[in-house]
Structure 1
């Protein structure tokens, strides 16, 4: 019944999106292979090359790329739904797809020349940390000098383009502005630092560069789109779809718990016993919470896309939609972490064995992914500040 409930909810939001349905059907058809790749990735601490090739060849890194440019061209809600389906199978694969597909977004913030050189075709994957941990010094001749060390570069080992957030200064006394450098992978040094207790397969390594000279044209601002459309305005396009990953991770955990509870309940009934009311109550509660979170995520993303498409010049409407999606996204991360643990508790001691379930992996994956800035409690301070009329104090909000 759980699958039917989710399908009914999908029909409400995505009935007319044929492109999304093709992607979902492909993921479902390759679920077993992707699960095997996910298990391998957890051991190798990065996605297997065969997995990357499969994802690349079938358009998973092109979900945000405009159809006119050869991509799938999904809305932000559609992207989140595809990531949900992947995360039901493996969170690390979904996380790397989420980061890699940003190639279809970043290309909308660079010049035609940079777009042709660094984003020339479908199938490209990006990686990198975009908050300004590095520094960029304008050299006054159309170039800048970049140095820095960045973290959480998920999928950098298979990425085609590396992004690096910098504090860009034209003069030493300037306070600087946030920009993102577009780099060749050969221009950075990847560090083997991704030794973690969750989301191991994402390969989210550190990387660094020192005194790297690049054309200033190869830096971008997410506040200065060069292509039109809701994927590039406002500036939060790379974040919108992220809530699909905790949703899928939690749904996968719930499915494990429901399957186990169904078998145990059937056995008890066959022997004249009665199911544990606490277990049944918790299955109902977790299901209700997931359905509510799903509705909130897809409602907020769908409404925001409409605002960004129909009234992009209306600052009040745009900012309200941006803040709403950020608030819902944060709650999805935090609440799904709790729900995955609740699902694991339903299995008790049975849930600790990797041979019988992947709940342990889901618990640790959720713990790690919730450390991302979008899942932090501090984000709600910014949300509350905006709601009561304050100014934005964060690059994305």
Structure 2
């Protein structure tokens, strides 16, 4: 049975409720630089960390729309909580590419937490030890969001053959493998000092010559995956959805915070609340229009690609492009909304106690993610204009 119809309303309600509970704890989360264990346990108990795991391995296998709405709701309570939830879920997508017995072993317990980075900044030397084929993994990766609370870590690696050269795929490109390690095989560097998303604990992490059996790895470009709609959805689009979901949640929270301030602060000779000022009225209306329109574009692109994913044919290039464009545009629009709300907040927005300054810091850090930079517009613009461009990551 498809869990989407039975879990979506419950998941959204749970996300809204948890968001309200974590809202007062943002300063605590920032000061810790990591999510408190009780919050992580609550996320796990609600099923939020299993949204991208196949049903056959104990996951919820949620539709992308459900996933986005859950992350969006959590972001209204705290961006770091939403971000770590997104990263755990994105990391779980690897479960659909592993051999069924391996995926069942790693993910069926239901409480497993996985973090890491797909970026191939490590090296994995192919070897055989004690009759077991595998890799010797060495490397350093950035952006280990939520790693402190993880049981497993994903590491992206270039596969090196016994001859010392990178293995090549049939298309002539290096084989990039996603390799899963146990948390104790990974060293966290505790160097997350960013000015936003402080509570994500997105430190660098490294692995020094650790052996991993080959079955705990996969190539997302070539290996078969679960043949169900969620995993027919464009992979790189799926990996990026959470970025926009966090951004949209932050933008909505910023507008609501500004409304609250506007109805409390009095200004001018008449000592009317700031909500009576024309600049507040116009700016808030424009911000709401920008947020709502970008969100509709985003959800519509997801829905169109999701309908396509119900069929066994590969996702069309048009659908892949639309989701990536809508994702990037939703983030850009959300950044503009938060900036405009911070500007309207005036002197009250500059203090550490202000939600607006926190929203601004969080969304500016979020906006630097590689999946939603201007390079995406360039890539999509080339396709639109008929200029030859690489499309593997669309």
TM-score (norm 2): 0.88
* TM superposition shift of 1:77: 1.6
Instruction: Note the 1:233-248 alignment, pairs <5 A.
Output: 233=232, 234-236=234-236, 237-248=238-249
Aligned pair partner of 1:122 in 110, 121, 134: 110
* TM superposition shift of 1:54: 1.1
Contact 1:65-1:103 within 8 A present in 2 as well: no
Distance 1:212 1:231 in 2: 32
Distance 1:204 1:109 in 2: 25
Contact 1:308-1:318 within 8 A present in 2 as well: no
Query: Is structure 2 residue 337 aligned with structure 1 residue 339?
Result: yes
* TM superposition shift of 1:273: 10
* TM superposition shift of 1:76: 0.9
Contact 1:164-1:181 within 8 A present in 2 as well: yes
Query: Is structure 2 residue 355 aligned with structure 1 residue 358?
Result: yes
Aligned pair partner of 2:156 in 165, 172, 196: 165
Query: Is structure 2 residue 380 aligned with structure 1 residue 383?
Result: yes
Q: Which runs of 5+ in 1 are unaligned?
A: 1-15
- Provide closer, same or farther for how the CA distance between residues 288 and 17 of structure 1 changes in structure 2, counting only shifts above 3 A: farther
Instruction: Note the 1:186-265 alignment, pairs <5 A.
Output: 186-223=184-221, 224-233=223-232, 234-236=234-236, 237-264=238-265
- Provide closer, same or farther for how the CA distance between residues 229 and 158 of structure 1 changes in structure 2, counting only shifts above 3 A: same
Distance 2:386 2:121 in 1: 29
Contact 2:145-2:201 within 8 A present in 1 as well: yes
Distance 2:266 2:228 in 1: 51
- Provide closer, same or farther for how the CA distance between residues 173 and 272 of structure 1 changes in structure 2, counting only shifts above 3 A: closer
SS of the residue 1:205 aligns to: coil
Instruction: Note the 1:83-162 alignment, pairs <5 A.
Output: 83-102=71-90, 104-139=92-127, 142-162=133-153
- Provide closer, same or farther for how the CA distance between residues 38 and 114 of structure 1 changes in structure 2, counting only shifts above 3 A: farther
- Provide closer, same or farther for how the CA distance between residues 102 and 225 of structure 1 changes in structure 2, counting only shifts above 3 A: farther
Partner of 1:292: 293
- Provide closer, same or farther for how the CA distance between residues 202 and 21 of structure 1 changes in structure 2, counting only shifts above 3 A: same
* TM superposition shift of 1:271: 6.1
Contact 1:37-1:51 within 8 A present in 2 as well: no
Distance 1:256 1:203 in 2: 26
Partner of 1:35: 23
Aligned pair partner of 1:374 in 353, 371, 392: 371
- Provide closer, same or farther for how the CA distance between residues 78 and 391 of structure 1 changes in structure 2, counting only shifts above 3 A: farther
TM-score (norm 1): 0.88
Partner of 1:177: 175
* TM superposition shift of 1:337: 1.3
- Provide closer, same or farther for how the CA distance between residues 389 and 18 of structure 1 changes in structure 2, counting only shifts above 3 A: farther
Distance 2:61 2:142 in 1: 29
Moved more, 29-38 or 186-195: 29-38
* TM superposition shift of 1:189: 0.8
- Counting matched residue pairs gives 378
Query: Is structure 2 residue 284 aligned with structure 1 residue 283?
Result: yes
SS of the residue 1:116 aligns to: helix
Report the RMSD for the aligned CA atoms in angstroms: 2.5
Distance 1:122 1:50 in 2: 17
* TM superposition shift of 1:240: 2.9
* TM superposition shift of 1:239: 2.3
Query: Is structure 2 residue 52 aligned with structure 1 residue 60?
Result: no
Partner of 1:6: none
SS of the residue 1:210 aligns to: strand
